[in-house]
Homo-oligomer: A and B are copies of this chain.
Amino acid sequence: MKHLKNIRLIVLAILSSAFFINCSTAQNPIYNQSIEESMIKALEWQEAHPIMALAPTDWTNGAYYVGVARAHKATKAMMYMAALKNQGYWNNWQTFKRLHHADDVAISYSYLYIDMTDRRRNFVDLEPTKKFIDAHLYEPDAWKEGKDKSAMGKTILWWWCDALFMAPPVINLYAKHTKQPKYVDDMHKFYIETYNQLYDKEEHLFARDMRFVWTGSKKDMKEPNGKKIFWSRGNGWVLAGLALLLEDMPNDYKHRSFYENLYKEMAAKILSIQPEDGLWRTSLLSPESYDHGEVSGSGFYTFALAWGVNNGLLDKAKYTPALKKAWNALADCQHEDGRVGWVQNIGASPEPASFDSWQNFGTGAFLMAGSEILKLDNQ
């Protein structure tokens, strides 16, 4: 049977090369089979190279396993579910430990997904997730109450834009899964605070935190070209988080239009600044600062925009060519052995990457992108 399979692959390869030769000046075709193979290779490489900032339950793994969950949702390939269950089991379904810190509940997206998908009952333990969300939303805290006096301006619960990926989609999914819509309302209250502080209504992008918000002072941080500093991954967190939120938010939720509008506004901006080669630079408005594509931000954008096309929020004809270009460029960032390179390391502002630089959340962004690109041609 392996022989048959091999012959099929060889025939496919010959056909592909022929096609490639004839179409070399046109947009490269996207074969779903090759996308799925790239995704599986990325998963296998990442599972073989576990990495953490502070724990296997930290936000870096949280973001990675969101990608694995989305890949499973899109393809149903058992290998993703095996990886999801394995990490959840060994993590004993714990969140990370700082209950006031949005980062530390990102991992629960994967726990919720497993519980909603796997046939087995009594496998996932959602108690730690519930405990986190309740403490996070309802217990007093220095950030929430504006009592933290650090330079970063930690005067709200989600004082940095990454937080909008880490916690809101988890709270929203928890509300859906447990049929408790009140959680969405309580999430919304904090989301709006962050929007008010960090969203730049002129540029339609989020400042990473208060340090990057212009106040008109001479001391405002600027790029060498004089522009505001908008971090690619930071905005990727927000936009990908919005797609996750919209997917699981009730259609009749009273504030849904706020999220849809924000999503569409940011999507249009991101499309308008896509570099020629398909991948966004780490500093969105100063691409010349580090003039190479970066995979974590670009992966989140590709996911978010393709999700919008697939779900009827964005114009297919307008976005699809940009998305296929982005995916082809992302796929070129993958090493032969599956490693996803060109990922900016952990940080809080634009920094360079390299073909060799990798991180689990970069692999997660790659998987998220692939999971929606796969569906593009079916729209």
Contacts and interface: CB of A to CB of B under 8 A. Distances in A.
Interface stretch (A64-72, A149-157, A200-208, A331-339): A331-339
Contacts of A355: 1-2, 5
Interface residues of A, number: 36
A192 to B, nearest CB: 32
A123 B54 contact: yes
A1 B49 contact: no
Interface in A256-314: 292-293
A48 B44 contact: yes
Q: Majority SS of interface residues in chain A?
A: loop
A120 interface: yes
A13 interface: no
A47 interface: yes
A213 B78 CA distance: 32
A334 B341 CA distance: 26
A15 interface: no
Given A2-B333, A2-B334, 16 more contacts: A1-B293, A1-B332, A1-B333, A1-B341, A2-B336, A2-B355, A5-B355, A47-B49, A50-B82, A50-B86, A51-B78, A51-B82, A51-B86, A54-B120, A55-B89, A78-B345
